[in-house]
Amino acid sequence: MGIERTLADRKRRDFCELPKETITSSKSRRNRRRQKKTTPPVQKLFETCKEVFESVETGIVPPTQDIDKLRSVLDGIKPEDVDLKPDMPYFRENASHRRPKITYLHIYECEKFSMGIFCLPPSGVIPLHNHPGMTVFSKLLFGTMHIKSYDWVVDLPPESPTIVKPSESQIPELRLAKIKVDDDFTAPCNPSILYPEDGGNLHCFTAVTACAFLDVLGPPYSDFEGRHCTYYTNYPFSNFSVEGLSIPEEEKKAYEWLQEKDQLEDLKVEGKMYSGPTIVEN
């Protein structure tokens, strides 16, 4: 999301050793060995991301089998797997009339991918933004969230204009986008996936109830590599009349104009320490 992130707590858990005089059956010992070998779900997610995004670059979508594999692993993640509970302070309702603060729990990031959790109190909003050249997996961990997403319109005839340039030169141009999703989602639900050119690459989230979602970005935002997070304002299609652009009347509600937004004075995102299982890099 292009926000300041905090490092996860790197403390390792202590393991309790049974007293030497304790006598256990061979079955109990086998069970203990199996428990020790169990990989935490978030560690499995990290290892899968490392494999899937190893050779992925900006604008390159991972192979279908890799997408399915990562989707399956992400789908198995539960709030308790990342030490998340709905009664945490991040999810408390804001008594004031100001837009609620969003909390970001940074799990891991490298040049290939990033993993993190966004925590939204009721009415919390992550404004409309893009994911240039990125494949993004999102898993709603709990709560209900409204998602509205768009893709740029690229399938109209070449003579159909999809960009409006305001008469005032300092005002950003408007570009035509088609609504991909505009609905409420309640956990548990399937992970969502967006791609560099489709699947709802531009989206905004509104918390209907307190909610949290786990985000995997591959590759992550990088101003240096041209993957800058840009925010937008949306306008109804009917707000602008464009000569040469014809959309059937019954389809006009599926289209909107998007304009880049310079400032986000009402967006407050605070980084907090991730307290779940520590990621072990091999």
pLDDT tens-digit readout, 134-146: 999 999 999 999 9
- At residue 28, the pLDDT reads 52
Least confident of 37-41, 156-160, 244-248: 156-160
What average pLDDT does this structure show over 249-255?
93
Q: Does an H or E element contain 179, and which? A: strand 174-186
Q: What is the identity of the amino acid at 167?
A: S
User: Where are the chain's structural domains?
Assistant: 41-273
Q: What percent of the chain has pLDDT over 70?
A: 85
Per-residue pLDDT at 104 exceeds 70: yes
Give CA–CA dist 187/143, Å, rounded: 6
What average pLDDT does this structure show over 92-115?
90
- pTM listed for this prediction: 0.83
Highest mean pLDDT among 16-30, 199-213, 227-241: 199-213
What average pLDDT does this structure show over 272-281?
94
Between residues 159 and 1, which one has the greater pLDDT? 159
Q: Identify the architecture of domain 41-273 in CATH.
A: Sandwich (2.60)
Edge-first strand listing for the sheet containing 102-109:
192-194, 135-142, 211-218, 114-120, 102-109, 269-272
pLDDT tens-digit readout, 51-103: 999 998 999 999 999 999 999 999 999 999 999 999 999 999 877 767 899 99
Please report the DSSP string for 6-61 in residue order: -PPP-PPPP-----TT----HHHHHHHHHHHHPPPHHHHHHHHHHHHTTT--TTPP
Give CA–CA dist 138/99, Å, rounded: 23
Per-residue pLDDT at 132 exceeds 60: yes
Per-residue pLDDT at 238 exceeds 50: yes
Our CA angle for 84, 88, 91, nearest 5°, is 100
Between residues 264 and 50, which one has the greater pLDDT? 50
Per-residue pLDDT at 20 exceeds 50: no
**Residue that the structure tokens 């290892």 belong to:** 47
What average pLDDT does this structure show over 181-197?
97
